[in-house]
Amino acid sequence: MLLQLSHIFKWVNSGGQRIFLLKDINLNVAEGEFISVMGPSGSGKSTLLNVIGMLDTFDEGTYDFLDTSVHNLREKHRANLYKEYIGFVFQSYHLLDELTVKENLEMPLLYKKHRSSERKALVADMLDRFNMVAKKDLFPAQLSGGQQQLVGVARALIASPKLILADEPTGNLNSEQGEEIMEQFKQLNNEGVTIIQVTHSEKNAAYGKRIIKLLDGRMV
């Protein structure tokens, strides 16, 4: 089992009222799964993804990730955990504008203190794999949205995470570009990477092996 959420609650207090963002979420994810999370705006999809990614906290319940109790961890240890095992893909790519494709890919490795030769090899692998060798010295602004998101995916992948969390990865892309990203995800999944994606599109959701539907913070 990769991760296990049980009875997760998250709320905010607003005007004396408690508004639930997540309500009694129970979710087990095994290694190698490909899960699509769906639901209308405001149903808590992104919040759930952030909780899983340990970027956000929750108020009640337990969360075990690879036999570690996340709910008992201090923030710093939590950060270390997600840095090691989780890769993030964002709807608006979030590439650093000042860095080239190659440098953007290299950045996570810098923080993990890989040696220079090792970094170069890994970056070269990724460029190769995503067919971006020719674009390695371009800046994000010089790429199309689809290409930028490919860099985003490659960057999430470069430190070989066990889990990739993608928050509407195709939300800013046209259908053709979106499909390409989805194909990449499918292939990654086939290679054994666990993927959880949030999506609005039925078609993209269908790439997942399992679909979770959320409504008002609750799994339905």
Q: In the complex, which residues of this chain contact another protein (CB under 8 A)?
A: 46, 50, 55-56, 76, 79, 83, 88, 90, 94, 96-99, 103, 106-108, 110-112, 155, 159
**CB closer to another protein, 96 vs 121:** 96
In the complex, minimum distance from the CB of residue 206 to another protein, in angstroms, rounded to a whole number: 27
CA dihedral 150, 209, 204, 126 (to 10 degrees): 10
In the complex, minimum distance from the CB of residue 107 to another protein, in angstroms, rounded to a whole number: 6
Smallest Cα–Cα separation from 48: which of 17, 23, 12?
A: 23
**CB closer to another protein, 119 vs 207:** 119
In the complex, minimum distance from the CB of residue 123 to another protein, in angstroms, rounded to a whole number: 13
In the complex, minimum distance from the CB of residue 85 to another protein, in angstroms, rounded to a whole number: 11
**CB closer to another protein, 124 vs 211:** 124
The owner of tokens 């195709």 is 170
C-alpha distances (whole Å) from 130 to each of 19, 81, 198, 212 are 43, 27, 22, 29
Query: 5 and 63 in contact (C-beta within 8 Å)?
Result: yes
